[in-house]
Amino acid sequence: MFEVFPFRGVGPLIFGMTRAEVLGLLSDPSSITSDDPGRETWAYESLALTLYFDADDDWRFESLEVSHPNTRLCGVPVFRRPHLAVLTDLANAGLAGAISRPFDDDEEELYFDHASLHLWREGQCFTSLSLGVPTDSSDRHVWPSEESDA
Protein backbone atom coordinates (compact mmCIF):
# COMPACT_ATOMS: atom_id res chain seq x y z
CA MET A 1 0.00 0.00 0.00
CA PHE A 2 1.20 3.50 -0.84
CA GLU A 3 0.57 6.36 1.58
CA VAL A 4 0.84 9.66 -0.27
CA PHE A 5 1.07 12.93 1.63
CA PRO A 6 1.05 16.39 0.04
CA PHE A 7 4.13 18.48 0.90
CA ARG A 8 6.01 15.29 1.88
CA GLY A 9 6.07 12.44 -0.68
CA VAL A 10 5.05 8.78 -0.74
CA GLY A 11 5.69 6.24 2.01
CA PRO A 12 9.31 6.57 3.16
CA LEU A 13 10.24 8.60 0.05
CA ILE A 14 10.42 12.24 1.05
CA PHE A 15 10.72 15.06 -1.45
CA GLY A 16 14.29 16.29 -1.57
CA MET A 17 15.93 12.87 -1.24
CA THR A 18 18.90 12.18 -3.49
CA ARG A 19 18.86 9.41 -6.07
CA ALA A 20 21.20 7.39 -3.83
CA GLU A 21 18.82 7.76 -0.86
CA VAL A 22 15.89 6.60 -2.99
CA LEU A 23 17.90 3.59 -4.22
CA GLY A 24 18.61 2.76 -0.58
CA LEU A 25 14.87 2.38 0.00
CA LEU A 26 13.73 0.88 -3.31
CA SER A 27 15.26 -1.59 -5.70
CA ASP A 28 16.60 -0.47 -9.06
CA PRO A 29 13.83 1.02 -11.22
CA SER A 30 12.38 -0.92 -14.16
CA SER A 31 13.60 1.89 -16.40
CA ILE A 32 15.35 5.25 -16.25
CA THR A 33 14.71 7.77 -18.99
CA SER A 34 15.78 11.33 -19.64
CA ASP A 35 13.41 12.83 -22.20
CA ASP A 36 14.18 16.37 -21.08
CA PRO A 37 17.78 17.45 -20.55
CA GLY A 38 18.33 17.76 -16.82
CA ARG A 39 15.39 15.56 -15.82
CA GLU A 40 15.33 11.86 -15.02
CA THR A 41 12.27 9.65 -14.84
CA TRP A 42 12.46 6.44 -12.82
CA ALA A 43 9.66 3.97 -13.50
CA TYR A 44 8.80 1.13 -11.13
CA GLU A 45 6.36 -0.81 -13.30
CA SER A 46 5.44 -3.47 -10.71
CA LEU A 47 4.59 -0.71 -8.24
CA ALA A 48 2.75 1.50 -10.77
CA LEU A 49 5.01 4.30 -9.49
CA THR A 50 7.10 6.88 -11.34
CA LEU A 51 9.59 9.23 -9.66
CA TYR A 52 11.11 12.39 -11.13
CA PHE A 53 14.48 13.98 -10.40
CA ASP A 54 15.67 17.36 -11.70
CA ALA A 55 19.23 18.59 -12.25
CA ASP A 56 18.22 22.13 -11.25
CA ASP A 57 17.48 20.69 -7.80
CA ASP A 58 20.78 18.77 -7.54
CA TRP A 59 18.99 15.62 -8.76
CA ARG A 60 16.68 15.49 -5.77
CA PHE A 61 13.34 13.65 -5.81
CA GLU A 62 10.83 16.35 -6.75
CA SER A 63 7.63 14.73 -8.04
CA LEU A 64 5.82 11.43 -8.51
CA GLU A 65 2.98 9.70 -10.29
CA VAL A 66 1.19 6.67 -8.90
CA SER A 67 -1.69 4.51 -10.08
CA HIS A 68 -1.27 1.49 -7.78
CA PRO A 69 -4.77 0.31 -6.78
CA ASN A 70 -3.94 0.32 -3.05
CA THR A 71 -2.86 3.97 -2.93
CA ARG A 72 -4.04 6.11 -0.05
CA LEU A 73 -3.92 9.91 -0.03
CA CYS A 74 -3.91 11.45 3.44
CA GLY A 75 -5.24 8.10 4.70
CA VAL A 76 -8.07 7.99 2.14
CA PRO A 77 -8.25 5.13 -0.41
CA VAL A 78 -8.12 6.91 -3.78
CA PHE A 79 -8.71 4.33 -6.50
CA ARG A 80 -11.50 1.77 -7.12
CA ARG A 81 -14.06 3.93 -5.26
CA PRO A 82 -16.60 6.46 -6.56
CA HIS A 83 -14.75 9.74 -7.04
CA LEU A 84 -17.36 11.79 -5.17
CA ALA A 85 -16.93 9.59 -2.08
CA VAL A 86 -13.16 10.03 -2.35
CA LEU A 87 -13.50 13.82 -2.59
CA THR A 88 -15.81 13.88 0.44
CA ASP A 89 -13.34 11.81 2.46
CA LEU A 90 -10.43 14.00 1.34
CA ALA A 91 -12.33 17.15 2.36
CA ASN A 92 -13.00 15.57 5.77
CA ALA A 93 -9.25 14.87 6.01
CA GLY A 94 -8.53 18.56 5.33
CA LEU A 95 -7.78 18.41 1.60
CA ALA A 96 -10.33 20.46 -0.33
CA GLY A 97 -10.47 23.21 -2.92
CA ALA A 98 -9.84 21.25 -6.11
CA ILE A 99 -10.04 22.97 -9.48
CA SER A 100 -11.79 20.84 -12.10
CA ARG A 101 -10.54 20.60 -15.69
CA PRO A 102 -13.01 18.39 -17.59
CA PHE A 103 -11.80 16.73 -20.78
CA ASP A 104 -15.19 15.31 -21.74
CA ASP A 105 -18.22 13.89 -19.96
CA ASP A 106 -16.26 10.89 -18.73
CA GLU A 107 -12.76 12.27 -17.98
CA GLU A 108 -11.52 15.01 -15.70
CA GLU A 109 -8.41 16.33 -14.00
CA LEU A 110 -8.70 17.76 -10.51
CA TYR A 111 -5.91 20.05 -9.39
CA PHE A 112 -5.25 21.07 -5.79
CA ASP A 113 -3.05 24.11 -6.46
CA HIS A 114 -1.93 24.70 -2.86
CA ALA A 115 -0.72 21.08 -2.61
CA SER A 116 0.76 20.59 -6.13
CA LEU A 117 -1.56 17.59 -6.46
CA HIS A 118 -3.39 16.29 -9.55
CA LEU A 119 -6.02 13.52 -9.63
CA TRP A 120 -7.24 12.05 -12.92
CA ARG A 121 -10.69 10.54 -13.26
CA GLU A 122 -11.99 8.23 -15.96
CA GLY A 123 -15.61 7.24 -15.51
CA GLN A 124 -16.61 7.22 -11.86
CA CYS A 125 -13.18 6.47 -10.36
CA PHE A 126 -9.82 8.14 -10.09
CA THR A 127 -7.15 6.29 -12.06
CA SER A 128 -3.92 8.08 -11.16
CA LEU A 129 -2.46 10.93 -9.17
CA SER A 130 0.63 13.08 -9.41
CA LEU A 131 2.22 15.06 -6.63
CA GLY A 132 5.09 17.50 -6.65
CA VAL A 133 6.99 19.48 -4.10
CA PRO A 134 5.23 22.86 -3.76
CA THR A 135 6.81 26.13 -4.81
CA ASP A 136 6.88 29.54 -3.17
CA SER A 137 5.94 32.89 -4.74
CA SER A 138 9.38 33.00 -6.41
CA ASP A 139 8.76 29.58 -8.00
CA ARG A 140 11.39 27.92 -5.78
CA HIS A 141 10.71 24.50 -4.31
CA VAL A 142 9.68 24.38 -0.67
CA TRP A 143 11.26 21.13 0.55
CA PRO A 144 9.84 19.25 3.56
CA SER A 145 11.59 20.29 6.74
CA GLU A 146 13.16 17.91 9.19
CA GLU A 147 10.58 19.03 11.75
CA SER A 148 7.70 17.80 9.61
CA ASP A 149 9.29 14.34 9.44
CA ALA A 150 9.18 13.84 13.19
Is 100 in contact with 114 (CB distance < 8 Å)?
no
- In this prediction, residue 35 carries a pLDDT of 79
From residue 114, alpha-carbon distances to 18, 25, 26, 118, 137 in Å are: 24, 28, 29, 11, 12
- In this prediction, residue 150 carries a pLDDT of 39
Q: At 6, which amino acid appears?
A: P
Q: In this model, does residue 111 exceed pLDDT 80?
A: yes
Residue 48's Cβ-side half-sphere holds a number of Cα atoms within 13 Å equal to 13
Query: For the whole model, what pTM was predicted?
Result: 0.90
pLDDT band, residue 141 (cuts 50/70/90):
confident
- In this prediction, residue 149 carries a pLDDT of 42
Structural domains in the chain, CATH included, are: 2-134 (2.60.460)
pLDDT band, residue 147 (cuts 50/70/90):
very low
- In this prediction, residue 138 carries a pLDDT of 87
